[in-house]
Chains A and B, each alone.
Chain A
Amino acid sequence: QKEVEQDPGPLSVPEGAIVSLNCTYSNSAFQYFMWYRQYSRKGPELLMYTYSSGNKEDGRFTAQVDKSSKYISLFIRDSQPSDSATYLCAMSAGNTGNQFYFGTGTSLTVIP
């Protein structure tokens, strides 16, 4: 079983829709959770960073962590064509290990 599972999509939505992107994980020790946005042929850029469970909101983006279900989500409200990208989740246990574990990414297209 992979440490992090992420549906690769592709996901296609009309402009203005609410988008839900999700990752599941198997390691209950994960405490730090991140979402990255990656445009084609570019490096990933950090969108959201959360610690432990709960919600975090930043503009049109909301990150949600449910540690009891080992499930994290990224919601995008009022989606825009500029949101079209691949979204990667990442997580870390924050212990002596070095590893950040990344999902394989979900490809999102927002249609004008």
Chain B
Amino acid sequence: SQTIHQWPATLVQPVGSPLSLECTVEGTSNPNLYWYRQAAGRGLQLLFYSVGIGQISSEVPQNLSASRPQDRQFILSSKKLLLSDSGFYLCAWSRDRRTDTQYFGPGTRLTVL
């Protein structure tokens, strides 16, 4: 069966510091991978998605970036965090990005102070 991991689970960072959140998927190959941010009362905001190694599409312009160095690894980064980057970050995977459902990881709660 497939499993998706995210770490860290929680993170408190000062404004201006760098960020690296990691997501890995087990039990499948060539998954489509997604990064979402969830804010209270605002639903899920798609940040990035990837259909393969090194292929990243950005949905929202911001100071975040994503990379996919390996087939089942997806990384969310920032060089300098803003207060507005605080939120709950979710990684998800799917087999087919058009028709298949998405399966979510446990999430990372980021607080920028």
Contacts and interface: CB of A to CB of B under 8 A. Distances in A.
Interface of A: 8, 32, 34, 36, 41-46, 49, 88, 90, 92-100, 102-105
Given A49-B101, A92-B99, A94-B99, A42 B106 contact: yes
B102 A32 contact: no
Interface stretch (B39-47, B64-72, B75-83): B39-47
A88 B107 contact: no
Contacts, number: 49
Interface of B: 6, 41-44, 46, 49, 57, 88, 90, 97-99, 101-107, 109
A41 B90 CA distance: 11
A98 B44 CA distance: 15
A92 B109 contact: no
